[in-house]
Chains A and B, each alone.
Chain A
Amino acid sequence: MLKKHPLITFIFFGVVLYLISNRLDELLVYQGATVGIFVIAIASLILLTGYSGQVSLGHGALMAIGAYAAALLRIHYNAPVWLTFVVAVLAAAVGGALLGLAAARLSGPYLAGTTLALAIGLPSIANQFSIFGGEQGLSFDIGFPPASLGEDFTQYKWYFWISWSAALIAMYWLRHVLNSRYGRSWRAVRSNDVAAELAGIHVGRNKVLAFTISAGLAGLAGALLGMTISLVSPGVYPLLLSFSLATGAVLAGVTTLGGVMIGAVILVAIPEIALAIANRYGGSETIITNLPGLLVSGLLILTVLLSPNGPVEQMHARHAKRAKSGKASHSPVELTLRVGSKTWSTKK
């Protein structure tokens, strides 16, 4: 169904989410909002890494750019909420484009190193200029849900709706882009840049574009994250966040968008599960403090070991095994092909 009617599918998803948000208790709604945000952030990494082949360990920093832009706009100009998110996307995209210009010349570990340095360097810039509010950051308050939604409509449900609307639109859009010539060019450049360039693709521009879009999405996720915790500060986007996103992308399967939900849910759920386990088995201080980390990391390692391309690819691969190959026809035939109003012919 996803293949044939993406719009309907996404609307269907939206309705399901709406129904869900009405049943869940508030804590789950809050966590659900976070899942929506991670969906966007992980998707942006998948685009960058899985499609264009560029590694980023500093996506947290790009998220921060979007979030700061949104918060500043809100604080100084009291801009409408939707506009702050649009600006978050644009600001982060500009940042991503600049970074992408440098990144386009780099490969593999060099790129990983640069983005890693960005992740630790950028927050310290926030400390440098008082407009960013230093370590304490800026509050990012989008206000109460519209009164028309009723008395019972809690703040977290409002966050949930906003996050998931953004996530659905972003995923809808991204899915199309990845299936268009843009996505195809990214994959081509990833696997053989010389061949791609000879086929007419401007490799540098192509990589920068991927970085720009990815950063824009990250910026959106960053602003949303700032929204759910009402604060934008360096501490909200630590190195650890960048690492978690990379983790989420791998858990989701970097080569396909299909698993983003899985990745996002795991990121949010694992600490919970770990805590539950720790509490069940004695709940000693040492266990409670160390078990979540152990579980997340252990799961991560197991995933790369057992299902490196993610659960969705794993399933596809199983299906694909059945497909068999046919022989090419070598006999010369004259052929006329019609597409739309155009006609091509092998006969001259």
Chain B
Amino acid sequence: MSKDSLLSISNLTVKFGGLTALDDVFLNLESNQVVGLIGPNGAGKTTLFNAICGIVEPTSGKLTLNGKSHDWPATHELTSLGISRTLQGVGLFPDLTVAENVMIGAQKFAKTGLISAGFGRNKLDEEELRGRAQWALERVYSGSLADKRADALSYPDTKRVAIARALVSEPKILMLDEPAGGLGAQDIEWMNGLIRNLRSEMSILIVEHHMDVVMSVCDELYVLNFGEVIASGSAETVRRDPAVIAAYLGTGVA
């Protein structure tokens, strides 16, 4: 494990009843590194994300954050640990505006208590949250969407806003679950650019089936199959690994 390891996981096992979704999995993420997680459907990628995010409870396994051993976090404390995540199904709040959606991610910066808020003493807070939200939206080039309702967005825009909501808490680790899923060629290109940009400020853990994206942004890849890590290493070595080709890539992907 290198010195500037931000997050590392070892011996992670997750079972659902009789089904072993993850089996003795390890993973290491360093500062300003983009790590890709690939593997066939149902291999356990999202489950791995869920374990890190406290959405499923690991059967066993260890987590290290910033070089220190840490309990598996509860979901709601992730943002304070500097971790943000987007969901495979986007997961915006449809009846909130875009700005409000993003502000939700920034609430850890608010200070006003309930009673004072009730008497209108939260103006500064609100301004700050809104400012941060606007800033995060601008980072994904969606500043003009702020006042739209989230359910009125086009699909690519929902993806942008979801990323903005993750960015607004100023994470050190950004976890993206299929950011390119469902996007057209141009938007995928755009997403590539964004991820590369963000890399200078944070580490990124990414699950993706789009090989173009994976290959162009990831420094390192982990390949899961049936809950086990079958290969890991630089993108180039992994893509030539025959086991990976057989289980996941197929021959069609050049």
Interface residues of A (CB under 8 A from B): 6-7, 172-174, 176-177, 180-182, 184-185, 187-188, 191-192, 194-203, 209, 213, 325-326, 328-333, 335, 337, 339-340, 342, 344, 346, 348
Q: With A and B bound together, what is the CA distance between A331 and B127 in angstroms?
A: 26
Q: With A and B bound together, what is the CA distance between A339 and B76 in angstroms?
A: 27
- Tally chain B residues at the interface, Cβ within 8 Å: 61
A342 x B131 contact (CB < 8 A)? yes
Interface residues of B in 200-228 (CB under 8 A from A): 200-201
Interfacial chain B residues near A203, Cβ < 8 Å: 76
B27 within 8 A of A: no
Q: Which of A180, A188, A202, A342 contacts B117 (CB 8 A)?
A: A180
Q: Which of B53, B114, B148 contacts A198 (CB 8 A)?
A: B53
B78 x A198 contact (CB < 8 A)? yes
Q: With A and B bound together, what is the CA distance between A188 and B148 in angstroms?
A: 16
Interfacial chain A residues near B160, Cβ < 8 Å: 328
Instruction: Pick out which of these stretches binds chain A: B18-26, B37-45, B95-103, B235-243.
Output: B95-103
Q: With A and B bound together, what is the CA distance between A192 and B76 in angstroms?
A: 13
Question: Closest CB of chain A to B92's CB: distance in Å?
Answer: 7
Interfacial chain A residues near B200, Cβ < 8 Å: 348
**With known contacts A181-B125, A342-B128, A348-B201, A200–B143 Cβ distance under 8 A:** no
Q: With A and B bound together, what is the CA distance between A301 and B129 in angstroms?
A: 41
CB closest residue in chain B, given A173: B118
CB closest residue in chain A, given B157: A328
B100 x A184 contact (CB < 8 A)? yes
Q: What 6 A-B pairs are tightest by C-beta distance, nearest first? A: A339-B131, A200-B79, A195-B91, A173-B118, A344-B135, A180-B117
Interface residues of B (CB under 8 A from A): 53, 55, 75-80, 84-85, 87, 91-96, 100-101, 103-105, 107-108, 110, 112, 114, 117-120, 122, 124-132, 134-135, 138-139, 141-145, 148, 152, 154, 157, 160, 165, 169, 190, 193, 200-201
Q: Which of B96, B108, B152 contacts A200 (CB 8 A)?
A: B108
Q: With A and B bound together, what is the CA distance between A172 and B119 in angstroms?
A: 7
Interfacial chain A residues near B201, Cβ < 8 Å: 348
Interfacial chain A residues near B76, Cβ < 8 Å: 197, 200-203
Q: With A and B bound together, what is the CA distance between A340 and B131 in angstroms?
A: 9
Interfacial chain B residues near A213, Cβ < 8 Å: 114
Q: With A and B bound together, what is the CA distance between A154 and B100 in angstroms?
A: 48
Question: Closest CB of chain B to A160's CB: distance in Å?
Answer: 24
**With known contacts A181-B103, A325-B148, A192–B127 Cβ distance under 8 A:** no
Q: With A and B bound together, what is the CA distance between A184 and B108 in angstroms?
A: 13
CB closest residue in chain B, given A337: B135
